[in-house]
Chains A and B, each alone.
Chain A
Amino acid sequence: MSIDTKKMTVAQAADALAAGTCTAAELCQSYLNRVKSVDGQVKAFLKIDEADIMARAGESDKRRAAGRPLSPYDGIPIGIKDCIVTQGQTCSCASKILEPVVSPYDSTVVARLKAKGFIPTGRLNMDEFAMGSSCENSAFQKTANPWDLNCVPGGSSGGSAASVAASEVPVSLGSDTGGSIRQPAAFCGIVGLKPTYGRVSRYGLVAFASSLDQIGPMAHDVLDAAIILDTIGGHDPKDSTSLPSPCQSFADAVRAAGNETLKGLKIGLPKEYFNGEGLTPSVKQAIDQAVETVKKLGAETVEVSLPHAKYAIATYYIIATAEASANLARFDGIRYGARAESPDLIQTYFKSRGKGFGDEVKRRILLGTYVLSSGYYDAYYLRAQKVRTLIRQDFENAGTQCDVILTPVTPTTAFKFGEKSDPLQMYLADIFTIALNLAGNCGISVPAGICPESGLPVGVQFIAPAMQEEKLLKVARIFELNRQVREFFPDL
C-alpha cells in the first residue's frame, strides 16, 4: 500500500496509523521517498540514516500489531536540528570543528520523543552553531526555501523549517536563541514555537547562549506544535534551569479551542513594532489583515509600548556573544572533534579553532571575548544585563494591559541568497524576535498571509507571558483556523 504524506500533519498521521490506513514502515518510506525526490534541491538534511529509520518503523509496527503502541504517535518521523544530539548519530552543529563527532547519548528531548515512539529522522542543516538568520553560515551546504529555491529558508533552524515546509518530515525540532525557530518558520510558511525559557530541557542541546537557548517544535499547524511540546517539555533533573512545572495537556487545550472565538481577549499591538522603519509593505499588509482577523473573532486590540525594544539587538549581541565565547571555549581540538596538528599544545588550540570555525562564529567569539575583556566588562556586559532588565520590564508592563501581544515575525519575507552579505544587516533581520529571548517569555510564529508579488509566506507572532503556553497556543489555533489564507504549502 502506498500513502500520500504530502501536507500530512502529525495528528493526521496518528489517525492513519490508528485506523490501519498505513503502517509505520509505509509512512516512513513515503517520507524517505520525498526526501529522495526533493532534497537534492532543498538540501535540508546533512545526514539521514534510512536503515535506522526503517528498522525503528518495523519495531513500531510490531508494537502496534501486538496492541502495545508507545503512544498514538508511535512510528511517526521527526526531523532533528543538528545541534540536538541523538545517540549513534553525528552532531556537527554544521561546523567543521565538530564534523567527526558521533553522540554517545540522547538529548532529553530525543529520549522523550523515542519513549513515545517518534522516530528521529536525520540531521537537519543550520547556521554553524546556530549563529545566523539564513542558514548560509552552515559549513557544509546552503538549504533552500521550498517556496522559492533562490531564497534562504531563514535561520538558524533553516533545515528544520525547510524540511517540514517541503513535507520531507511531518514535524521537526529547532532551537531558538534570538528567533531561530520563529523566523525560519515565518519564511517557510510553517508554525514555530519558542517555549518559555526552562520549559524544555537543554540537556543534549549544544550550548550557544545558555541563558537564551530554548528547543521548540516546527510544524504544519498549532496542534502538531502542541503535541510535540507535550512530548518534549517538563522538568528534567539533568538541566538545572528546567522549570518544575508539568507540561502535558497543551494538545488537549488546542483541540478544545477548535470552535472557540477570541471574545473577551485583549491583544496588545506594540507601537514601536508597527511604526518602525524596515517593515515592508507586503508584511505590513499581512499583519494588518491578521489584526482584522483577530478583531472579527471578538478580540479587543490595544496599543501597548515596548520603549526599549530598539535596544534589544545591541543587548542581545553583547549577552549572546559573551555566553557563546565561554561556551565555545571547549572546542579546542583536544577532547572531541577535529584537531589541527601542531607540535605544541597552545598552537594546537589556535590552529584547530582557526580552521574549525567559520567567519560568523569567529566574529561572535571575538565580540564576546571583547565585551568580557578587562576594562570593558562594566561598559558592555554589565550594562547590557541592566538593559535586559528594562526589556523584561517592558514586557511585564505590556502584560498588565493585554493577554497576548501580536507582532510581525520579520520585517521582510525570505530574502535571496547572498542578499545580506553585511553581518550587521543580517542581525537587524531579527528585530521582532530577539527581545522575547531576553525577556524569557513564550512566542509563536504562525503563517498569516502570502505576499502577492513574490508568492512568499508572511508570519505573525503571538507573544504571551512566561508559562502561559496554553493561552498562547489557543489564540494561535483560533487564528489559524480563521485566517484568510487557509493552507500554506509550497508547489514543490
Chain B
Amino acid sequence: MGANSSIDVGYIAGLARIELDPADKERLQHDMEAIIGYIEQLSELNVDGIEPTAHAVPMTNVWREDRAGVPFGRKAMLANAPATIDGELLKVPQVLPGEGMA
C-alpha cells in the first residue's frame, strides 16, 4: 500500500471493459485517488494471524436433491436479448477480426 498504490484509471477501466471519454477519465481519476487515500487507513491495523471473513454466514457444501426440473423456456429467456436470430440464438458482433461473415 502507500506510495505504490497509485491508480491509473484508464488502465483499470480497460480491465473492467468500460469506455470512458477524456472528461470522465479525468474526473474519475480525481475521485478514485481520494477514495483510495481513504481506504488506505486499513494499513494502520495489524492483521497478522487474523483469519479472513469471506461471508457473513459460513455455509459450505450446500447440496440440493438431484432432481430434474422444468427450466425456463428459451424464447422467454431470449426475449430480453438486444439481438437474436429468430428468437432462438443470441446474435453478437463478429468475435474474431478478419474477413466479414458470410
- Residues of A bordering B, CB below 8 Å: 100-102, 104-105, 196-198, 211-212, 237, 240-241, 243, 308, 311, 313-315, 317-318, 325, 332-339, 341-351, 353-355, 357, 359, 362-363, 365-367, 369-371, 373, 376, 379-380, 382-390, 392, 422-424, 427, 437-440, 466
For the complex with contacts A370-B7, A379-B43, 13 further pairs of A-B residues with Cβ separation under 8 Å are A102-B79, A197-B57, A198-B59, A241-B55, A243-B59, A314-B41, A350-B19, A362-B28, A366-B13, A367-B32, A383-B45, A386-B53, A440-B57
Note all chain B residues with C-beta closer than 8 A to A338.
82
- Say yes or no: B56 contacts A345, CB within 8 Å: no
Q: Is B18 an interface residue (CB 8 A)?
A: yes
Complex Cα gap A439–B28 (Å): 30
Note all chain B residues with C-beta closer than 8 A to A341.
93
- Say yes or no: B45 contacts A104, CB within 8 Å: no
- Say yes or no: B47 contacts A339, CB within 8 Å: no
Can you pick out 17 interface pairs between chain A and chain B where the beta carbons lie within 8 Å of each other?
A102-B80, A104-B76, A198-B56, A211-B55, A211-B56, A317-B35, A346-B17, A353-B17, A357-B18, A359-B28, A366-B13, A367-B36, A373-B15, A388-B52, A389-B52, A390-B50, A439-B56
Q: Which of B58-91 contact A (CB under 8 A)?
A: 59, 62, 64, 72, 76-77, 79-83, 90
With contacts A362-B28, A373-B15, A423-B31 known, is A317 near B79, CB below 8 A? no
Note all chain A residues with C-beta closer than 8 A to B62.
240-241
CB distance from A460 to the nearest CB of B (A): 23
- Say yes or no: B56 contacts A369, CB within 8 Å: no
What is the chain B residue whose CB lies nearest that of A101? Answer: B80
Range of interface residues on B (Cβ < 8 Å)? 35 or more
CB distance from B80 to the nearest CB of A (A): 4
What is the chain A residue whose CB lies nearest that of B75? Answer: A104
Interface SS of chain A: helix, strand, loop or mixed?
Answer: helix
- Say yes or no: B57 contacts A243, CB within 8 Å: yes
Complex Cα gap A384–B45 (Å): 10
Q: Is B102 an interface residue (CB 8 A)?
A: no
Note all chain B residues with C-beta closer than 8 A to A379.
1, 5, 43
- Say yes or no: A367 contacts B35, CB within 8 Å: yes
What is the chain B residue whose CB lies nearest that of A384? Answer: B42
Note all chain B residues with C-beta closer than 8 A to A423.
31, 34-35
- Say yes or no: A386 contacts B1, CB within 8 Å: no
- Say yes or no: B80 contacts A353, CB within 8 Å: no
- Residues of B bordering A, CB below 8 Å: 1, 5, 7, 9, 12-13, 15-21, 24, 27-28, 31-32, 34-36, 38-43, 45, 47, 50-57, 59, 62, 64, 72, 76-77, 79-83, 90, 92-95, 97
Across the interface, A345 reaches (CB within 8 A) one of B15, B43, B95, namely: B95
With contacts A392-B53, A423-B31, A424-B38 known, is A311 near B80, CB below 8 A? no
Note all chain A residues with C-beta closer than 8 A to B56.
197-198, 211-212, 437-440, 466
What is the chain B residue whose CB lies nearest that of A100? Answer: B80
Among A325, A344, A437, max chain B CB count under 10 A is at A344
Across the interface, B32 reaches (CB within 8 A) one of A104, A311, A350, A366, namely: A366
The 7 A-B pairs with the shortest beta carbon distances in the complex, nearest first, are A440-B56, A354-B19, A385-B52, A339-B82, A336-B80, A197-B56, A386-B47
CB distance from B8 to the nearest CB of A (A): 9
Across the interface, B57 reaches (CB within 8 A) one of A241, A349, A363, namely: A241
- Say yes or no: A389 contacts B18, CB within 8 Å: no
Complex Cα gap A369–B15 (Å): 7
What is the chain B residue whose CB lies nearest that of A362? Answer: B18
What is the chain A residue whose CB lies nearest that of B82? Answer: A339
What is the chain A residue whose CB lies nearest that of B7? Answer: A370
Complex Cα gap A102–B76 (Å): 10
CB distance from B10 to the nearest CB of A (A): 10
Note all chain A residues with C-beta closer than 8 A to B53.
385-386, 388-389, 392, 438
